[in-house]
Structure 1
């Protein structure tokens, strides 16, 4: 699967960036080092000046790629969900049983990511940590409606809608497929956050993963009586 993924260029909505960072060495360096810096100091403390110091480049050079740090975070999140979607598609290939396809899809979207060495400028494991802690900051803004109209969250919604389609295929009369699908994806991120920081209010730990929880949930929820 990884060799197949390495031949795919992950595309992000061109309205998110000023210049496609994938088209230059500096652009890829901006992506690579912004991931490590955001993980180290948090998005609130992250600035283009600090990133410029880290990569040995002027702050102004980063603005040639991204209008502001919010757009950079949206880009990283869009890249991540696109990468997740490709994995979902590959994992479900040649599987006829819709419940098995759903379980594989849920496993992909709820498990901790591992680094894909075929994409050297993106550390997916570290990016996954950023998604867990910072992804909601791309959504909970005053600009969300306008950015949604511009298609900023198309890939994220596409991942959710793939799961929605599987839920409907398994149980057409289930009344809440969209709510269930979106709750699985966002809930898994929240469970990892709780596991890392507020352990007393989650059952997830080194033995029980969010994936275990959500596989159990969909089995109970969609089981035919």
Structure 2
């Protein structure tokens, strides 16, 4: 199983890059260092010029991989959602009971992130922090509808759909499965943001995790019992 997981490749919409960063050591370095830098200084202060200086390469070499930093952020977010999707599929594939499957899915979607050794050039913990703090900047734009048509958000939408299908399996009569699925995924990001920056606005803390909170929401909404 470990060898199988190490062979997994997260496939990203090729319209998000000029040249696939997975195709070269420089491309992987660009992705690796951009995660470190965006986490350190924030997306607004991040530039390709600063990144080029950090990796000891010309700024123009980065433009050979990404058209602009917006596309890079979309790429990083898509990679993150694709990584969560592969974890979700592997973790729930052999769970026959719909309730247990949904419980595991909520854990995958909402628990604190840990390093995945299958992807050595990606720091998933820092990437998770970037998604929490910066992801909304990738779609709160005037171009969002056009970018949606181009498939820039297809992995995220597919992830929501997978969770939505699991919700339907638990309660076929529940009328809002997609809304609940997207609320669970987006809500988890928001709760972690509140924990870090506005702790008085959330009941989640070191003792009450977002996972517990969203299990409570899902199980009570769907009228099912949870083992937690």
Give me the TM-score of the superposition, normalised by structure 2: 0.96
- The aligned runs of 1:130-169 (5 Å cut-off) are 130-169=130-169
> In structure 2, what is the equivalent of residue 108 of structure 1?
108
Between the aligned partners of 2:185 and 2:139, the Cα distance in structure 1 is 14
Query: In terms of mean alpha carbon deviation, does 135-144 or 2-11 score higher?
Result: 2-11
**What corresponds to 1:26 in structure 2?**
26
Match of 2:186 in 1: 186
Q: Measure how far apart 1:3 and its partner are.
A: 4.1
The 8 Å contact of residues 18 and 67 in structure 1, kept in 2 or not, is answered as: yes
Q: Report deviation, 1:93.
A: 1.8
- How many residues align? The count is 225
Task: Specify the alignment match of 1:94 in structure 2.
Answer: 94
Partners in 1 of 2:133 and 2:224 — Cα distance?
Answer: 36
Deviation at 1:117, TM superposition (A): 1.9
Deviation at 1:4, TM superposition (A): 3.0
Deviation at 1:224, TM superposition (A): 5.2
2-structure distance, mates of 1:124, 1:4: 19
Against the structure 1 CA distance between its residues 208 and 111, is the aligned structure 2 distance closer, same or farther, given a 3 Å change threshold? Answer: same
In structure 2, distance between residues paired with 1:3 and 1:133: 33
Q: Residues 35-50 of structure 1 correspond to what in structure 2 (within 5 A)? A: 35-50=35-50
Are the counterparts in 2 of residues 5 and 86 from structure 1 also a CA contact under 8 Å? no
The residue matched to 2:133 in structure 1 has which SS?
A: helix
Output the CA distance in 2 between the equivalents of 1:194 and 1:3: 37
Counterpart Cα distance in 2 of 1:76 and 1:204: 27
Cα distance in 2, alignment partners of residues 64 and 150 from structure 1: 20
TM-score by length of 1: 0.97
Q: Deviations over 1:73-129 (max 9, x none)?
A: 000000011010000001102111111111111111111211112211101011001
Unpaired runs of 5+ residues, structure 1, are: none
SS at the partner of 1:135?
Answer: helix
SS at match of 1:12: coil
Please name the residue that 1:176 is paired with: 176
Q: Secondary structure at the match of 2:112?
A: coil
Could you give the per-residue CA deviations for residues 197-221 of structure 1, whole angstroms, max 9, x where no partner exists?
1000101101111111001111101
* Alpha-carbon distance between aligned partners in 2 of 1:182 and 1:116, rounded to the nearest angstrom: 24
Aligned mates of 1:173, 1:9 — CA distance in 2: 36
